[in-house]
Amino acid sequence: MPWQKMLFREDAVWVRVGDDGRMLLDRDGRAEMKYRETDNKSYRPGPANLRPDPSGGPPRELDAPPAGGDGEAAPTKGKSRKAAAPAHDPNVLQIWTDGACSGNPGPMGIGVVIIDGKEREEAGEYLGVGTNNIAELVAIERGLALAAKRVPENGDRRVSVYSDSSYAIGVLDKNWKAKANQELVARLRRKLAAFPAAVQFVKVSGHAGVPENERCDELGRQAIARAR
């Protein structure tokens, strides 16, 4: 079956369609989607969260369509394309975060990975029902809370937050106006201002094989699965 390029949230994605160009839905009424042509992982968003990509062109066959869904890796004969992880200074405290949402809105989970030199700390948490943007913001909030105990009061420690959310980085680091989630955004801005070290935000590609980003996504989805 062919795939059609569409838009999911802010990202261009590929969605499986029939020969007539319409989305193919499973028995739960969800589409099959993947983020990159060569991904071997697919997801099941609700069709209401997908919209046409004006520059998408006609449906076409892709080189390596996945055989699985719902975020599980599918078998493939070829190797999936992996994006290079950003280079890291070992002296920088790394906070990796991701929010997962099964539907938008839907059940939310978050994943956090803290890397402090040779030390590593992981956390996953179910948040209840809400939106993807809420999950992304709360993941950063939890990451800052876990990292605060590792930062000396003198503020000499350097801290980087890695997120694949353009929205979260925009409202927290680029002075975007928060049209929704205003209370949550305001609370996070206060916590960032009071954090005992300067925080740098780093945008990473989501669902592109960056190991710590993928691990955060896995922790968030595992939290949702446990809650179910």
CATH number of the domain enclosing 141: 3.30.420.10
Could you tell me which residue, 78 or 129, shows the higher pLDDT?
Answer: 129
Residue 191 has pLDDT above 70, yes or no: yes
Residue 87 lies in a domain: no
Q: Facing residues of 126 across strands? A: 109
Domain limits at 37? Answer: 1-75
The reply to whether 89 belongs to the active site is no
Q: Which of 98, 141, 212, 214 is catalytic?
A: 98
- pLDDT tens column, 199-211: 999 999 888 889 9
Residues 55 and 106 grouped into a single domain = no
161's tokens? 């937050």
Residue 88 in any domain: the answer is no
Query: What pLDDT, on the 0 to 100 scale, is given for residue 85?
Result: 54
Q: Categorize the per-residue pLDDT at 77 as very low, low, confident or very high, splitting at 50, 70 and 90.
A: very low
pLDDT at residue 165 in the model: 94
pLDDT value at position 13?
84
Does residue 179 belong to any structural domain of this protein?
yes
> How confident is residue 122, by pLDDT bands cut at 50, 70 and 90?
very high
Are 105 and 71 contained in the same domain?
no
Let me know whether 49 and 115 are in one domain.
Answer: no
Whether 204 is in a domain gets the answer yes
Active site residue 28: no
Q: Which of 32, 39, 125, 164 is catalytic?
A: 164
Same domain, 112 and 58: no
Question: One of 32, 125, 141, 217 is an active-site residue; which one?
Answer: 217
Catalytic residue among 69, 71, 99, 206: 99
Alpha carbon 181 to chain centroid distance?
A: 18
Please indicate, yes or no, whether residues 66 and 107 belong to a single structural domain of this protein. Answer: no
Q: Are residues 22 and 108 in the same domain?
A: no
For residue 69, the model assigns a pLDDT of 36
Percent of the chain with pLDDT over 70: 86
136 catalytic residue (yes or no) = yes
Q: Is 173 exposed, middle or buried (0-12, 13-18, 19+ CB in 10 A)?
A: middle
Structure tokens that stand for 72 in this block? 């599980």
Active site residue 164: yes
Q: Give me the torsion for CA of 160, 126, 132, 212, rounded to 10°.
A: 40
Structure-block tokens of residue 2: 């062919």
Q: Of 98, 95, 138, 100, which Cα lies nearest the Cα of 120?
A: 95
- Asked about 217 being catalytic, the answer comes back as yes
Per-residue exposure over 11-29, b if at least 16 CB sit within 10 Å of its own CB, e if not: eebbbbbeeeeebeeeeee
Q: Is the peptide bond before 59 cis (omega within 30 degrees of 0)?
A: no
pTM of the entire predicted model: 0.65
Q: Of these residues, 207, 212, 214, 220, which one is catalytic?
A: 207
Verify that 113 and 198 share a domain, yes or no.
yes
| Residue 86 maps to a domain | no
Token output for 99: 């929010």
Helix or strand or coil: residue 3?
strand
Residues 4, 47 share a domain: yes
Q: Which residues of 126-144 are buried (b: 16+ CB within 10 A; e: fewer)?
A: bbeebbbbbbbbbbbbbbb
Distance CA 147, CA 61 (A): 45
Residue 160 domain flag:
yes
Q: Are residues 106 and 58 in the same domain?
A: no
pLDDT score of 65 = 39
Residue 84 lies in a domain: no
Strand partners, 3: 16, 60
- Residue 18 placed within a domain: yes
Do 207 and 115 share a structural domain?
A: yes
Listed range (5-14, 21-30, 77-86, 172-181) with the worst mean pLDDT: 77-86
Asked if residue 163 and residue 97 are part of one domain, the reply reads yes
Give 33's strand partners: 15, 43
209 and 168 in a common domain: yes
Q: How many domains does the chain have?
A: 2
- CA–CA separation, 198 vs 172, rounded Å? 13
Q: What is the mean pLDDT of residues 178-202?
A: 94
Distance in angstroms (rounded) separating the CA atoms of residues 209 and 197 = 29
